[in-house]
Structure 1
Amino acid sequence: MYVYLLTNPARTVVYTGVTSDLERRLYEHGQGLGKGGKFTGRYQCNLLVYFEAWPDAPQAIAREKEIKGWSRAKKERLTTSFNPTWAPIDLQTWDGKATTEN
């Protein structure tokens, strides 16, 4: 299970989600599918900037709810600690390390 944060190209919106299949869910967001697709589609929020893996659904859902309750500033600190430049993460090429490139 994964908890993830998406943003838009201007980095003005942060969306928090949970899924068992991160690649499939990112595709769905990009295509505007599902309930989350309506929000992410409206705000062009389709850039993965943060994610974390959890061993089971209850833990992942609890973490998603925790993050959703945070202020924007706290979500920014979490993302920046993992991905300092907020560079979009491509799961096909990601090497497991946060990038420092702009």
Structure 2
Amino acid sequence: MKRFIYIITDRNRKNLHVGLCSDLLKTLNFYTQMPTLFFDSAQQLNRLVYFEEINTEEQAMERFKYVSTFTRAQKEKMIRPVNPDWVDLTIGLNIESNLRTRPHMRPSVSALRKAVTSF
């Protein structure tokens, strides 16, 4: 099962929080529903600035432990090459997940076959 290591920050980039999860979109949704769980309202963690996808749970746990020991400067050094403007990566993830799901209005193949054979 795939795991994700992520770094999330607030709008002022004051706090950098490292996390580990199996469903990144669900975790980010949790952060938006519970904005003051870890910090006060001025420091809401709501901006995903970095993530890694790791294939095995053991590798993910080792990587998480390693990245968690990083200083702020080391975390910034990790983020800047892949996200130099510190934009919120959640928007891209939401678009990608919507592309993967099947549209509800699209007819199924079996319904089309029935329509064609009924003539």
Q: How many residues align?
A: 91
Give the match for residue 75 of structure 1: 75
Mark the CA change 1:69 to 1:81 in structure 2 (over 3 Å): closer, same or farther.
same
The unaligned stretches of length 5 or more in structure 1 are 95-102
Larger Rg over CA atoms: 2
Distance apart, 1:41 and its partner CA: 6.2
State TM-score, norm by structure 1: 0.81
CA contact (8 A) 1:29 1:41 kept: no
Distance apart, 1:65 and its partner CA: 1.1
The unaligned stretches of length 5 or more in structure 2 are 97-119
**Fraction of identical pairs, as percent:** 32
| Structure 1 residue ranges, 4+ long, deviating more than 3 angstroms after superposition | none
- Trace 1:13-92 onto structure 2 (pairs within 5 A): 13-32=15-34, 38-39=37-38, 43-89=43-89, 90=91, 91-92=93-94
State TM-score, norm by structure 2: 0.70
CA contact (8 A) 1:49 1:87 kept: yes
- Counterparts of 1:68 and 1:56 in 2: how far apart (Å)? 18
